[in-house]
Structure 1
């Protein structure tokens, strides 16, 4: 799973990124509202940890822009303000949860896991259930009837991204940015190679048709 942390306090941002990376999350970070909004618009994150008071565009404006553009990513707001009105404003803007500074990192992790559990019961105790497939984020592999597929890390990350967005088309660039990062200089055509490898591992179980190519656009995991 990939998380975006948008926080202008350098010490808090680095501490948060370190803790999340230690929990095996993929993490991107930004220190300004403009940079955070740009990264959020790429559509490659499962959750955004977003400070309200940011240089440039503030967190509430970012939430409104994302929601108005149809972005449904889970958003956890961070703020130093603790009044009921401030919390209500944050949630009414479209955020999913609200955490007041200073906070314990244990609480942040608990809030993040709770938000993931809300995703239509798709994610349960570090597992993603998708049709006959079960993805386990702890071992970075997928299973069919408890038999492991033997995925590489990149194969797992691609399949996880598709599973978290099942029935939705993901562009080749979205998959590439999610798995290889926004600053990678590798050609995005590598996505097609890994999709081919995934299908070869799924074909033994008759599940290769799960990953469908949407010509000229990208790929989709279709389980119905």
Structure 2
């Protein structure tokens, strides 16, 4: 599932956004700029919803600190201000979009999908595509051409994570945190087992060759020409 960091100090607004989006996205809520930076350093996200008016370190400062550190990270700015200078600065710092409060939840969601498609994380709403491999996030199903592939929950999320980061090296520790959770009692070596099982599922279609091991580093879904 697409992973979103929601940075909004107004707890009511944050909870409303979380409630509206939770069926389609995995969302972590934080309420300060400092906590936002800690989460961005510790975990992998696909998109950030970032309020500008935060206590302590404001949203613009957060945006400035992460702009050169995260690849393929979409950012939507939320603010009660309509100042053109703030908008221009946010875009210069790498924000993908800008919403002024109050806003419609449907508009926020629609803009999120536009950004995810632009970043290559989605083609259709709720669908990831790699060559003839289609992964439906809503139905939790995987297809290659017209044939369905049966994956358990762990393998589904593993394939999803690889597809979201196509051609990007993912370290074993990153994959472990995303798939198992940082508080899991399992060893990171379990990722090797999951990768082996995933390759076996993809092998009948010749797609196992795209799941590449970078020895001593990690794994990636590589679009071999």
Q: Same fold (TM over 0.5)?
A: yes
User: Structure 2 CA distance, aligned partners of 1:77 and 1:184?
Assistant: 33
Question: Do residues 181 (structure 1) and 181 (structure 2) align?
Answer: yes
Please tell me whether the aligned partners of residues 212 and 219 of structure 1 are also in contact (alpha carbons under 8 angstroms).
yes
Summarize deviations over 1:90-142 as a string: whole Å, max 9, x none.
21221000011121211111111111121248522322111231111122222
Q: Which runs of 5+ in 2 are unaligned?
A: none
Q: CA 1:63–1:185 in structure 2 vs 1: closer, same or farther (change >3 Å)?
A: farther
Please tell me whether the aligned partners of residues 44 and 175 of structure 1 are also in contact (alpha carbons under 8 angstroms).
no
Partner of 1:15: 16
User: Structure 1 CA distance, aligned partners of 2:142 and 2:206?
Assistant: 15
TM-score (norm 1): 0.92
Please tell me whether the aligned partners of residues 135 and 143 of structure 1 are also in contact (alpha carbons under 8 angstroms).
yes
Shift of 1:83: 2.2
Shift of 1:22: 2.2
Summarize deviations over 1:59-116 as a string: whole Å, max 9, x none.
1111111112253300001111012222222212210000111212111111111111
Partner of 1:145: 145
**SS state at 1:123 partner:** coil
Q: CA 1:99–1:198 in structure 2 vs 1: closer, same or farther (change >3 Å)?
A: same
1:1-224 equivalences under 5 Å are 1-23=2-24, 25-42=25-42, 44-120=44-120, 122-224=122-224
Summarize deviations over 1:21-67 as a string: whole Å, max 9, x none.
122x1111211111111212345111111111222221111111111
Regions of 4+ moved over 6 Å: none
Q: CA 1:84–1:118 in structure 2 vs 1: closer, same or farther (change >3 Å)?
A: same
**SS state at 1:39 partner:** helix
User: Structure 1 CA distance, aligned partners of 2:157 and 2:194?
Assistant: 10
Q: Which runs of 5+ in 1 are unaligned?
A: none
Shift of 1:151: 1.3
**SS state at 1:82 partner:** coil
